[in-house]
Amino acid sequence: MDRPPAEQLDELGAVMLAGVTRAIPGWVERSVTRILDAWGRADADVRSRAVAEARAAGPEVAARVGSELAELFATPVAEQRTTPLEVVRRAVAEPTAILRRAGVGEIARDAFEERNRPDDVYGLVPHTLGDLGDPELAPLHLAWGVAKAARLRRGA
């Protein structure tokens, strides 16, 4: 017999939390570096400062997002009003602030992104957990959603 949905949900949440907090520091640094490189106008000092800021901010972002994920996973499933991916998407705040301080201009985004993510002016929002740089994270969100639905069907 399969494990109960509650047990599956708890296990998937723990694996997701560990993977996300492990991946975010590198994602923050890669995101800042990618936009700086694409922009191409930062002198060596500005680039160096921004990358150092991103490297320092990464663990802080991981801790903040990890705390928010842990809070979500501790909330009874029937009371959850967001998803793990939406929590992870909040990680864009710090790299966005770093890029703004570096003087990087906003990028052109499509109308959907501008309307739905007005604060994501550099197009950093991860579309899947795998976008954090760990492809093993990609299917976890779907599996977690399936386990959550099964748990809700059984009466949370």
Domain residue spans of the chain? 5-153
Q: Give the pLDDT of residue 1.
A: 42
CA triplet 37, 41, 106: central angle to 5 degrees?
Answer: 80
Place 146 in a pLDDT band, splitting at 50, 70 and 90. very high
Q: Report, as an integer, the average pLDDT of 42-55.
A: 97
Q: Report, as an integer, the average pLDDT of 11-26.
A: 98
- CA–CA separation, 86 vs 82, rounded Å? 6
Q: Is the pTM of this model over 0.85?
A: yes
For residues 91 and 25, the answer to whether their CB atoms sit within 8 Å is: no
For residues 31 and 152, the answer to whether their CB atoms sit within 8 Å is: no
Tens-place pLDDT, residues 104-145: 999 999 999 999 999 999 999 999 999 999 999 999 999 999
Q: Give the pLDDT of residue 156.
A: 56
